[in-house]
Amino acid sequence: MTADRNCKIDFLRALSMLLIVVQHYVVWGVKKSPHEVFQVDGIYSLLDYTTMEALYLLSCVGVNCFIMITGYFLIDRTTYRWKPLIKLWVTTFFYSVGLYLLVSLCGGEAFSSGTLLKCCFPIWSEQYWFITKYFGLMLLAPFISSLASRLDGKSYLVLLAILFCMGFMLPYGRIYAGGQSLFWMIFVFLVGGYIRLFELPKVIVNHTKIMFWALLIVYTLVVLGLEIMKSPQFKLHSFASDSPIFFLSLALFIWASKKPSTGDVGLYKICSRIAPYVLAVYLVHMNTHLYPYVWELFIPQRYGIPVALHALLSCSIIFVVCIGIDYIRGVLFKILRVDHLFEMIASKIKYSIVTLK
């Protein structure tokens, strides 16, 4: 794998997290405010709604792309990497407990020992649904990779086809899986792994941009058409992770993983530097006790600029602030030698499991 390609995937990781913030901007901000309904009565208001709808649909690719990246990098690793697992748990604990105490001290909500206890066990109590499922995926990852490494390209594709049929929203996804299920994450993980291990048809690789933009435009027009048929009061609609949005995610991921870098390499390098802090953007801005105040702060009483532009600016600010917070957390952990503790614990348990072959 080339350095450029690594940087490009780091760029996609950062972009995916920014898009996740945008999705939350809509779900927990716009849809919980008087701006939930767009009054479309002219070209400007129609354009405002359409661009925001396109951005909202685009934001739905974030989770899928993030999991594909994980599968891309871990599909050839069949031993446990205990340090990242321990770090993930401790960092989640740090933000779960720390932000709850901060909100309580600031008068945001009354302190409760029961709530604090739940915050102390963030994976078990699902303080963050994504982290709970992601942690489970990381526990299974070496086994999944070991099994996948035994398959040839054809058998791997058959497995993906079966998992897709069982996990996709229609016809069996509602029975076996769901967009927020570990089952779906395993499928998406394996998709990222397949793209790492096997060559894709050149016709697909060479036309990923066209496919991406075509899908985004079609999805937006479909939603727009449905809203026009309903009423002049338009609402934003999204697709779930296990729906047609998967194909949009796939096109974006193929572009990042298979196409050489041609853009601003400096931007890719910046994304590589902030990569260790990207997951914390989710941990900070979507903390169960903090996020209502985040969106109360950033959703205005009245929009003076296009909603899509406001969303991008607001979410970029949130993204940068959260990166800065986690950078400070990283410095604090180094001072307290918490990272050394991660390594010490990992060294004690890394031989307690039989290496998978």
Residue 354 lies in a domain: no
- Summarize pLDDT for 284-324 with one digit per residue, the tens: 999 999 999 999 999 999 999 999 999 999 999 999 999 99
- Summarize pLDDT for 298-307 with one digit per residue, the tens: 999 999 999 9
Q: Which residue has the tokens 């702060």?
A: 297
Model confidence at 82, pLDDT cuts 50, 70, 90, reads: confident
Query: Of 110-114, 170-174, 234-238, which range is least confident?
Result: 170-174
Model confidence at 339, pLDDT cuts 50, 70, 90, reads: confident
pLDDT of residue 344: 78
Residue 7 lies in a domain: yes
Residue 140 lies in a domain: yes
Quote the number of domains for the chain.
1
Quote the tokens at residue 311.
Answer: 């969303």
pLDDT of residue 1: 40
Residue 356 lies in a domain: no
Query: Of 12-16, 32-36, 352-356, which range is least confident?
Result: 352-356
Query: Are 208 and 254 in contact, with CB atoms under 8 Å apart?
Result: yes
- Calpha distance 188→194 (Å, rounded): 10
**In which domain, by residue range, is 93 found?**
3-349
Q: What is the helix (H) or strand (E) element at residue 234, kind and residue range?
A: strand 233-235
pLDDT of residue 233: 81
Mean pLDDT of the chain: 90
Phi, psi of 108 (to 5 degrees): -70, -35
Model confidence at 22, pLDDT cuts 50, 70, 90, reads: very high
pLDDT at position 194 over 80? yes
Of 46, 48, 57, 50, the C-alpha closest to 22 is: 57
Residue 355 lies in a domain: no
Query: Of 1-5, 105-109, 281-285, which range is least confident?
Result: 1-5
Query: Are 323 and 330 in contact, with CB atoms under 8 Å apart?
Result: no
> Which spans in 128-264 are helix H?
129-148, 153-167, 174-176, 182-197, 202-205, 208-230, 245-258
Phi, psi of 233 (to 5 degrees): -95, 105
Question: Is 235 strand, coil or helix?
Answer: strand
